[in-house]
Structure 1
Amino acid sequence: MGIKTYTVDAFTDQPFTGNPAAICLLEEPLTEELMQQIAVEYNLSETGFIIRKSENHFGVRYFSPRQEIPLCGHATLSAAKILFMLDVQMNQVIFDTIGGLRLYCERRGDQIMMKFPLYDSVAIDLPEPMMQALGIDKAIASRLAKDTKMLLLEIESEAVLRTIKPDFKALVNSYTGIDGVIVTAKSESDYDFVSRYFWPWAGSDEDPVTGAAHTVLAKYWSDKLGKSQLHAYQVSQRGGFMFLELDEKGHLEITSSAVIMMTGDLRI
């Protein structure tokens, strides 16, 4: 069997930055076991599998090298980038996730807008072992987004955020029942806020750029700054940007760019 496969750097307009994803265009469904094996083979933060339902309507599933992931922003952006490249007349694509979400993607010039859900979070107290594992002395706020199984911590500055070097083994042992922890701060440049995302519970130690985390960050920073339009940057080693807009219906529009890096056939 040959599967048309692509790798894409998402949330960036420059090669070798942003978040890389592998995208597999399926002619027929694969077993979960085989999709997991393919994700391990590519060893990227996520591999996306898309299969056509109708002309511009696709099913999508996301796998990290460890497990299936319910929602992935950069793999969705990457899949839309591929489909828009293959059909220059297509300007909108719809993806249905395994969890029942319907995601709309729209071509906007050289960029792509994705319509995602928006998630609230509630204040919680973090255990001291987690703070120690992250190497953080104090947090301005600590919150839990139950829908995404993510913790959110706001800390004092972008400068501190950039220097964090977690003890990942201790981090996993410090908290259970979550997929990852977002650490964020107000930006010291032209962006509204910056962030990093650590998820050794479900994927790699640190994700380069995380669309799903911004479904939580957008609500938090919109409430704090009193803005419905936000510019965000994830300050990982690779780095990536996105523009966020909250609409009146409680949805989030995420707009950014992606760069196709490789095309090929997966032979299995």
Structure 2
Amino acid sequence: MKIKTYTLDSFTNHPFSGNPAAVCQLKETLDELMMQQIAQEFNLSETAFLIPQDGYYDIRFFSPFKEIPLCGHATLASAKMLFTTKQMDEVAFKTIEGLMLKCYKRDNQVMMKFPLYETQPADAPKAMIDALGDINLIDVRHCRETNMLLIEMESAERLKELDPDFVALKKSHDSISGLIVTSSGDHIYDFYSRYFWPWSGGNEDPVTGAAHTVLAKYWGDKLAKVNMKAYQSSARGGYMELFIASADELQITSTAVVVHTGDFLLPD
């Protein structure tokens, strides 16, 4: 059995930057163990599995370690792949939790409609701050829907320099899915961020669409803006434009680059 597969770099228009994701086009669903094994074989931060339905696609996201309910860069990769290979200008994906994600072709870009999430004041354990290094803590928030902790620190320059102790970071908290560390922006971008997730996927995710469903509301309120430009300051780096369309809808616009196509061969 052959599965048509693609690898794309998301949130960038240059190969070998942004966040890579694998996309598998299925004719019918696979069992979860097989999808997990395929994700482990690709060994990227996420692999998306698309199953066509009447008017939309079911979409499942797997890291090499576990299934992930929502993944922005793999959604972007899936939409870009379909817009590149099929005559279509919009597509809808339904996640494992029943969330419908709508994506639209905008010239070479893809605009994705995502939920927008609130945060609540929270505490960061001292062990977590120690694992991050010497930072000036400005704010700590928690998002219930994504179970992400958000920490604002003092500068974009210091944010880029962070070199966390990931063993200590993972031990510092036992009930979150990931940690967003963010700082205010400059004349190019409204804010910067990095995303660490040793609890769910890997040490650091290069560019994280789902984290921006949290960041957009946080920075939108602080900056009194609905249109923002954001950059994730990982080694690979990636950008996106954000528009807060309503109290519960975020529009994320960026692009992706197809870097590989092939067939995944399943055992009989």
State the TM-score, normalizing by the size of structure 2: 0.98
- CA deviations 1:169-207 (Å, max 9, x no partner) are 111110111111000001234000000000000001000
- Tell me, in whole angstroms, the C-alpha distance in 2 between the residues paired with 1:58 and 1:135: 42
Please say if residues 12 and 239 of structure 2, whose CA atoms lie closer than 8 Å, have aligned partners that are also in contact: yes
Q: For structure 2, list consecutive stretches of 5 or more residues without a partner in the other structure.
A: none
CA drift at 1:249: 4.6
Q: Relative to 1, partners in 2 of residues 1:41 and 1:187: Cα closer, same or farther, differing over 3 Å?
A: same
- CA deviations 1:149-170 (Å, max 9, x no partner) are 1000010000110110111111
**Alignment match, 1:7:** 7
How many equivalent pairs are there?
266
Structure 1 residues 75-114: aligned runs within 5 Å:
75-88=74-87, 90-114=88-112
Q: Which amino acid in structure 1 is aligned with residue 76 of structure 2? A: L
CA drift at 1:126: 1.2
**Alignment match, 1:47:** 47
Q: Which amino acid in structure 1 is aligned with residue 260 of structure 2? A: M
Matched, 1:251 2:242: no
- CA deviations 1:41-65 (Å, max 9, x no partner) are 00000000001002x4100000000
- Tell me, in whole angstroms, the C-alpha distance in 2 between the residues paired with 1:114 and 1:135: 35
Please say if residues 135 and 154 of structure 2, whose CA atoms lie closer than 8 Å, have aligned partners that are also in contact: no
Q: Which amino acid in structure 2 is aligned with residue 226 of structure 1? A: A
* Paired residue secondary structure (1:37): helix
**Alignment match, 1:224:** 222
CA drift at 1:87: 1.3
Structure 1 residues 19-30: aligned runs within 5 Å:
19-30=19-30
**Alignment match, 1:62:** 61
- Tell me, in whole angstroms, the C-alpha distance in 2 between the residues paired with 1:60 and 1:106: 16
CA drift at 1:138: 2.6
Q: For structure 1, list consecutive stretches of 5 or more residues without a partner in the other structure.
A: none
Identity %: 55
Please say if residues 135 and 153 of structure 2, whose CA atoms lie closer than 8 Å, have aligned partners that are also in contact: no
Structure 1 residues 84-233: aligned runs within 5 Å:
84-88=83-87, 90-233=88-231
* Paired residue secondary structure (2:264): strand
Q: Relative to 1, partners in 2 of residues 1:235 and 1:137: Cα closer, same or farther, differing over 3 Å?
A: closer
- Tell me, in whole angstroms, the C-alpha distance in 1 between the residues paired with 2:16 and 2:3: 24
**Alignment match, 2:34:** 34
- Tell me, in whole angstroms, the C-alpha distance in 1 between the residues paired with 2:262 and 2:233: 30
